[in-house]
Amino acid sequence: MQQTHSFSLGAGKRYRAAIFDFDGVILDTERYHFAAWNAAGALFGLAFSEEEYLPLKSTGRPYIASVFEKKLGRRFTEEEKRILFSEKQAYFEEAISSLGEKDLIAGAVPFLQALQERGVPAAVASSGTLCARLVERFGLTPYFVAVIGPEEGLPKKPAPDVFLLAAERLSARPSQCLVFEDSSAGMRAARAAGMDYVAIGSGEGSLFDAPDFCTVLGRLVCGET
């Protein structure tokens, strides 16, 4: 019988695959998304506070635009929406042009290496438009079986679709996958997919909360089942 590699984080249950959000989980880019949305919103006299933006992470452009519309008191025209999205993207791309290894979440790469060395497959499931490009830019492609982003055309988190597709491409059942997330929308998506999750930062219902992957790596236990 073929052996299957699995892992746990010292919490008893074992998993056969790992799924990662990207922005704010592998790479510290969320502050740039926040600034980019405010720069684009300023064209219409709009802005988010950090508290307002926090639950919007990973929900996607259409939803964030709808929140801006509530602030504005009317719907954007199609041209206004095009301007909003293009300005946000341009600002974000310029802002992240200077990203370097210092912006990787502490312990993320060693944790990915540890999973790979132990034969545990991993995937990225992200709403970030530049996710695939950044995975390649930082040399992270070898660590992932699949990188799933908005180009798949799936409903945004908190819908579970992106995690379910990741599980399929990892040849694992949802219950066998452990998700690593930092957004409330992503955590709700994991729960809807029937997956446990670790909150990078903090999150209600998480297997445990970790400020970064150094803590996670210290709890990693791999084996064969």
- Residue 58 belongs to domain with CATH number: 1.10.150.240
Instruction: State residue 1's pLDDT score.
Output: 31
Give the angle subtended at the CA of 199 by the CAs of 196 and 201, to the nearest 5°.
175
Could you give the dihedral angle defined by the CA atoms of residues 205, 206, 212 and 213, in that order, rounded to the nearest 10 degrees? 180
Residue 209 confidence (pLDDT) above 90: no
Q: Domain containing 161 — which CATH number?
A: 3.40.50.1000
63 and 171 both lie in a single domain: no
In this structure, the answer to whether residues 38 and 93 fall within a common structural domain is yes
The confidence score (pLDDT) of residue 205 equals 64
Residues 68 and 136 in one domain: no
Instruction: Give burial (CB, 10 Å; 0-12/13-18/19+) of 12.
Output: exposed
pLDDT tier at 2 (50, 70, 90 boundaries)? very low
Q: Taking 80 as the threshold, does the pLDDT of residue 98 lie above it?
A: yes
Report which listed range, 12-16, 65-69, 127-131, 183-187, is most confident.
Answer: 65-69
Stretch 48-68: mean pLDDT? 91
Q: Are residues 130 and 147 in the same domain?
A: yes
Domain boundary among 45, 77, 98: 98
72 and 105 share a domain?
no
Are residue 93 and residue 38 in the same domain, yes or no? yes
Mapped onto helix, strand or coil, the DSSP state of residue 79 is: helix
Q: What is the pLDDT of residue 202?
A: 65
Number of domains into which the chain is organized? 2
Range of the structural domain that residue 67 is part of? 30-98
| 188: confidence class by pLDDT, cuts 50, 70, 90 | very high
- Tell me, yes or no, whether 219 and 155 share the same domain: yes
Mean pLDDT of 151-164: 94
pLDDT (tens digit, 9 = 90+) per residue, 35-44?
999 999 999 9
Q: Are residues 112 and 55 in the same domain?
A: no
Residues 130 and 48 in one domain: no
Per-residue pLDDT at 129: 83
Report which DSSP code applies to 57: T
- Do 75 and 134 lie in one domain? The reply is no
Q: At which of 69, 98, 127 does a domain end?
A: 98
pLDDT level of residue 208 (50, 70, 90 thresholds): confident
CA-closest candidate to residue 44, choices 13, 67, 16, 15: 67
**Claim to verify: residue 19 and residue 41 sit in the same structural domain:** no
201, 188: one domain: yes
Residues 141, 83: Cα–Cα separation, whole Å: 32
